[in-house]
Structure 1
Amino acid sequence: MDITYQAEENLQAEEFKALLIKSTLGERRPIDDIERIEKMCRNAGLIVTARADGQLVGVARSVTDWVYCTYLSDLAVDEAFQHRGIGKKLIAETKRLTPQATLILLAAPAAVGYYPKIGMTNHEHCYLLRDVNDLK
């Protein structure tokens, strides 16, 4: 089965939501809020997809300025298509389309061991702020 990779500007929220669920990334994404999912698709700077016979089987959704940094926010591959190099190819395509930018991502707990295996470097200085009221 041939997998095609391409940048897509109009990924539909329902299709993205279905893939999030099939990839288990849906456990950590707002899949019950379709308006938020729609905005995630519409406001991403770059979405690279993997399709098998037209079926969405992988997505790399990024926020980018194209020249300095690309934050790969969502890397999702349908569980039925995992272990075929699709995630690695989605990362490579994202980097190819933003060659000057450093690609940054936060690993899902189950994927922490994956990224070093494909050549990505761990960076220990990452900080999160989920609520402005948490600032001291």
Structure 2
Amino acid sequence: MSITYQFDVLPNTEAIIDLYNSSTIVRPTNDKDRISNMYANSNLVATAWHDDLLVGVARSLTDFSYSCYLSDLAVRKEYQHQGIGKQLVWLTKQKLGDQCMLLLLAAPAAIEYYPKIGMDKVDSGFIIKREQ
């Protein structure tokens, strides 16, 4: 199976929702406008494709100089455990360069995953949670 990775293709909202629903990520997939706005306001999106099927995405917000927040990392359930998520993170970091840090908030079910792909855990963070 050949997976291709791209930065220059923004998937349509329906493909993103389908990917999210088929992965373990929890996002407001019943709100198409919100998903569309999430991507319209992101400035670094890496995608993974099996032929014409979107199988993975890493969606980030960054200044490309100092910091990057990787807000979504999702891989279709049937494509997980094949290194696609790790490759999306690695490609994102490569695009950012050495001067930019990469930060994410892990879902409880994914906390053990990120150290396995070379990320360090941080304890110094604060959050104001969304209300919706």
Question: TM-score, length-normalised on structure 2?
Answer: 0.94
Matches within 5 A, 1:7-26: 7-25=7-25
Q: Which residue of 1 aligns with 2:6?
A: 6
Partner amino acid for 2:63? D
Deviations along 1:47-73, whole A, 9 cap, x unmatched? 000001121000000011111111000
Structure 2 residue matching 1:60: 3-state secondary structure: strand
1:51 aligns with 2:49: yes
Q: Paired residue for 1:91?
A: 89
- For the aligned residues, what is the CA RMSD? 1.3
Task: Report the 3-state secondary structure (helix = DSSP H, G, I; strand = E; otherwise coil) of the residue aligned with 1:29.
Answer: coil
- In structure 1, how many angstroms separate the alpha carbons of the residues matched to 2:24 and 2:86? 17
| Alignment-derived partner of residue 40 in structure 1 | 38
Within 5 Å, which residues of 2 pair with 1:55-66? Answer: 55-66=53-64
Kept in 2: contact 1:11–1:41 (CA 8 A): no
Q: Distance in 2 between matches of 1:126 and 1:16?
A: 29
Q: Would you say how many aligned residue pairs link Structure 1 and Structure 2?
A: 130
Report the Cα offset of residue 9 of structure 1: 4.8
Q: Name the CA distance, whole Å, in 1 between partners of 2:130 and 2:48.
A: 34
Uncovered stretches (5+) of structure 1, i.e. residues with no partner = none
In structure 2, the residue matched to 1:118 is: 117
Q: How much has 1:125 moved relative to structure 2?
A: 1.1
- Report deviation, 1:19: 0.4
**Which runs of 5 or more structure 2 residues have no equivalent in the other structure?**
none
Describe the superposition over 1:63-93 as per-residue Cα deviations: whole angstroms up to 9, x where unpaired.
1111111100000000100000000000001
Q: Percent identity?
A: 48
How far off its partner does 1:11 sit?
Answer: 2.2
